[in-house]
């Protein structure tokens, strides 16, 4: 359960706004019939791309203190969750972990090199140590020569963001949990950038599928695959390599029109049982509870103050710029920030983007898995 004692030190108006948001989130989870965490019967597992967590490279941040409480509240509903887009500076993550409390821990990759298209991001997992045990095995996935990604050119490359796999155990259920943030590139299905996206999905699924055949662990592959719709090439690449994709009728982007995020499995025989297997809505639309449209007036003075502060900084940067690149960057920031504050309508447009840098532009995706196979094992022992 998140640690809320520090809320006492927050000014009363802001504190009450945070509490109201947290209470709406809790009500939303109840109304969704989201499963309660259980000691030994099941595992609640998920994936969430937490947008640009947390630096200000896109000029919409940094996150408000209250945003960390909302993110912690959501993550606390999971036993283990894969996260993407963790940035270089780990202080924001450590701030989040303090709110989550001492029973939670994390394991992350190093940052990916920006020249590969990885934006210096990390991949990783947050898990409840009282429920999930890290077995000591973790590693980034490096492709062998035969699986290197070549698009339609002769240039061969690794992933733009190296996938990350960790072995966990919860109850009787042993699993290798791998997460990805696949290269996006382009929407044009005939472009080399789109083909690179599909080849990345195919490469990681192919690699893990072969690993699964020689493993005593169940393999779970999740993350931001940048798949726009079911039955697209990327989606098919997962199934082609033997992964079963969890059904979800609604998208995982902010307006739920794209199916970027996926949970897929390659499991050992009779070792993977879903609770609520027919459930087909597995995303959490948190904007129903926080940073809602009706909250715009509440956050308007906060955004205006931040825009003014950023304008002062951008104007100083422009005055001190010694290269055309820096001048162009500062001029672009001044132009966009000036436009954002110019009218109430433009500030509303800014709010629609700003709030995704407070929470995310992706929604969490989840499943619940049975982890107690003791009865099955006892029956097995009767005949062996």
Mean pLDDT value across residues 162-170: 95
The total number of residues shown for the chain amounts to: 384
Q: Which residues contact 367 (CB under 8 A, 6 or more apart)?
A: 44, 45, 46, 246, 263, 274, 282
How far is 80 from 126, CA to CA, in rounded Å? 6
**CA–CA separation, 235 and 221 (whole Å):** 13
Torsion of CA 227, 232, 234, 236, to 10 degrees: 130
Q: With 70 as the cut, is the pLDDT of residue 261 above it?
A: yes
Q: What is the DSSP string of 51-114?
A: EEET--TTSS----HHHHHHHHHHHTT-SEEEEEEE-S--HHHHHHHHHH-TTEEEEEPPPPPG
Q: Which residue from 382, 379, 373 is spatially nearest to 169, judged by alpha carbons? A: 373
Residue 14 has pLDDT above 90, yes or no: yes
Indicate if the pLDDT at residue 114 is higher than 60. no
Name the more confident of 348 and 272: 348
pLDDT at residue 280 in the model: 87
Alpha-carbon torsion, ordered 62, 67, 68, 74, to 10 deg: -140
How far is the C-alpha of 249 from the C-alpha of 351, rounded, in Å?
A: 27
Which pLDDT belongs to residue 215? Answer: 84
Average pLDDT, the chain: 92
pTM, rounded to two decimals: 0.94
d(CA 59, CA 332): 11
């Amino acid at each position: 359960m998140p640690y809320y004692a520090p809320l006492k030190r927050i000014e009363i108006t802001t504190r009450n706004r945070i509490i109201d948001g947290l209470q709406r989130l809790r009500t939303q989870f109840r109304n969704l019939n989201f499963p309660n965490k259980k000691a030994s019967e099941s595992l609640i597992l998920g994936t969430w791309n937490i947008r640009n967590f947390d630096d200000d490279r896109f000029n919409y941040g940094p996150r408000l203190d209250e945003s960390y409480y909302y993110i912690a509240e959501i993550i606390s509903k999971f036993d283990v969750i894969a996260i993407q887009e963790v940035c270089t500076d780990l202080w924001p993550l450590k701030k989040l972990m303090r709110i989550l409390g001492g029973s939670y821990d994390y394991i992350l990759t190093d940052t990916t090199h920006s020249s590969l298209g990885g934006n210096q991001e990390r991949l990783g997992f947050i898990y409840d140590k009282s429920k999930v045990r890290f077995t000591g095995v973790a590693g980034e996935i490096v492709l062998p020569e035969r699986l290197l990604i070549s698009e339609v050119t002769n240039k061969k490359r690794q992933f733009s963001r190296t996938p990350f796999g960790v072995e966990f155990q919860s109850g009787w259920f042993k699993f290798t949990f791998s997460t990805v943030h696949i290269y996006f590139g382009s929407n044009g299905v005939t472009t080399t950038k789109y083909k690179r996206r599909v080849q990345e999905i195919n490469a990681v699924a192919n690699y893990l599928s072969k690993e699964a055949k020689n493993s005593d662990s169940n393999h779970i592959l999740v993350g931001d695959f940048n798949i726009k719709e079911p039955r697209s090439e990327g989606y098919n690449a997962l199934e082609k390599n033997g992964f079963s994709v969890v059904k979800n009728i609604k998208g995982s982007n902010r307006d739920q029109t794209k199916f970027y995020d996926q949970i897929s499995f390659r499991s050992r025989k009779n070792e993977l049982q879903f609770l609520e297997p027919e459930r087909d809505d597995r995303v959490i639309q948190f904007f129903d509870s926080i940073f809602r449209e009706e909250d715009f007036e509440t956050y308007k003075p906060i955004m205006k103050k931040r825009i003014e502060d950023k304008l002062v900084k951008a104007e100083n940067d422009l005055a001190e710029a010694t290269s055309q690149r820096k001048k162009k960057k500062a001029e672009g920031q001044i132009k966009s920030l000036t436009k954002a504050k110019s009218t109430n309508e433009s500030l509303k447009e800014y709010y629609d983007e700003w709030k995704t840098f407070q929470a995310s532009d992706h929604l969490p995706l989840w499943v619940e898995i049975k982890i107690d196979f003791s009865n099955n094992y006892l029956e097995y022992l009767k005949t062996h």
